[in-house]
Every structure is written in structure tokens, then in C-alpha cells.
Amino acid sequence: MTRVACIGECMVELKQAEGGLFSRGYGGDTLNTAVYLARLGAGTDYITALGDDTLSDEMIAGWAAEGVGTARVSRLPGKLPGLYMIQTDDKGERRFFHWRDSAAARSLMDLPETADILNSLASYDIVYLSAITLSLYNDAGRGRLFSGIKRARESGARFAFDTNFRARGWPDLEIARTVYQDAFNLADIVLASTEDLLPLYPHATNEDLLARIPGGEVVLKLSEPASILRLDGVLHRTRAEPLTKPVVDTTAAGDSFAAAYIAARLAGAEPVEAARAGHRLAGVVVCHPGAIIPRNAMPA
């Protein structure tokens, strides 16, 4: 049985290169997580919508080459994937520019096959999505998605929610706070960070942020290379191992952490060890350019 369903959006990526040029690739937070999950041995399907264009064809071929299942990708005639551009500074921090308002993925919760997609979630062990995924849909679409996840949980699936925050996707922060709380209330596993949550809850302490999340398994990544894990009310602090190489690009640090954490939990690891696995993979990813590192750079 396929074990993880990742729901979200993959876009055409233009990445800053030398001489004012840009290289073309593909990326998206939940897609990055899906690729790393597949590399770590977890059976993974990616659930999204794409167009019927050649760029979408290339995406699907690339995902399949990484071992990511594509059977649940909807193809919409006349539509295109979204586009984003990354600029990175000399410290590896990135800035994003998006062109995605009419992207195919935004229609995923409003298709004739939407009901079948949502019913299929019950066949997975974990359903994973991020706050960026939720920002794609309107209130009705998010309601349909949450209802589908509730049914999947009744059949034994677990819901893992990543708090990945992009302000551009949430022009109304009150709506964002409501949606985040709905996701917190439903999630079995929450993968959070202070970087994501402090824009929503300014001046909150780590304790304040954790108190907003009722679930029994919560990871809060900190601004320092460490995280706080709350498991059934008990707090555990985990520090990342020191980096042996300079930071080049922080893109997909959180996405890779999520993949390693979920893969470790599926393999039977305790949450503290899963958090250590997340820090290990993220520590390798940030030392390479781009979201997806070469296969031969993957840690054991």
C-alpha cells in the first residue's frame, strides 16, 4: 500500500544563476517533501492538478523518475502550472516572486474528480500537506479538503500538517489564523517553526505557540539549529548536529526536515529520533543549491 499522500502544488522554478541569468527547474514545498520521502523509501503519491502542456509533462516524468507516484495528478486542458523565481543573498537566504493566480493546482478542490481524490485519502497511512497548500483554495475548497481528511482519519490515516507560511498567499491574516487553527485541531502531527508562526502571532513565546496547537505530537523548529518536540504533553529539546560545510541555500530546509521526520516515524522511530533525522537531512540540504540535492549527497 502507498503510505503517504502529499497534497499541494509544483511550479516552474526560475533560479538565480551567474550573470543575471536564471536556470529552469521545478519545485514546490510539498513536492520537495514528496521527493525526499520517496528517496528515503516511503511509498509516496503526489496529489495535485497540472495542465496538458509540455512543462506539465516534464514535471510528471521527473516525479516518476524520483519514485513519486503520479496516478492521482489531474490534468486540466488549457491550464498551465504556476511559475516562481528565487533570488538568494550571500548568506543563502532566499526571496520568492510568484506568478500563479491561474495555476491548474488552484482548481484541485473544484473538479469533477475531486470527490474521488478525497475518498482515496483513506487508503494512505499519512496525509501530508502544508499551509501553502491550504492557501491555494477558497473557503469551500478547504472545507471539502478538511472533510476528506476527517473521513480518512476515521479509516486510520494520520494527518501531518506543516505550517510553512508565505505572506503572499494570505492577504488577510485573520483568515490565515482561522485556517491554521482548523488544521491544528485536525492534525495528528504538526511540523511547525517559529519562522512560520511568529508573523501570524507576533511577540508570542515558544510556549505560547505550542499552546495554540492541541495535538499530541508537535515539532517546533526554532530560529537556532534546534527544535522542541511535544509528545503527549512532555517537552523534549533536540539540537541539530553542527554543519561541516557552509550554508549555500536554505530552500527546502523545512521540506526535507518534514520528509525525514515522517519517513522515520513510518519506519518505527520514536519522535525524538525522527526529529534528529529531520535535522540531519536539513543540515545536508542547506549546503547545496536548490531544493533537491543530488542523490549521491543524501545522508545514510
Give CB contacts under 8 A, 24+ apart, made by 230-234. 231/271, 231/272
Q: How far is CA 67 from CA 214, 233, 264, 293, in A?
A: 34, 37, 18, 15
Q: Which residue has the cell 474521488?
A: 116
Q: Are 74 and 25 in contact (CB under 8 A)?
A: no
Question: How far is CA 102 from its chain centroid?
Answer: 21
Q: Which listed residue (29, 45, 125, 255) is catalytic?
A: 255
Q: Are 105 and 33 in contact (CB under 8 A)?
A: no
Task: Compute the radius of gyration of the chain from its Cα atoms.
Answer: 18
Give the count of beta carbons closer than 10 Å to the beta carbon of residue 149.
24
255 is catalytic: yes
Question: Rounded CA gap, 283 and 148, in Å?
Answer: 34
Backbone torsion region of residue 260, taken as left when φ is above 0, otherwise alpha when ψ lies between -120 and 50, otherwise beta? alpha
Q: What is the set of active-site residues?
A: 255
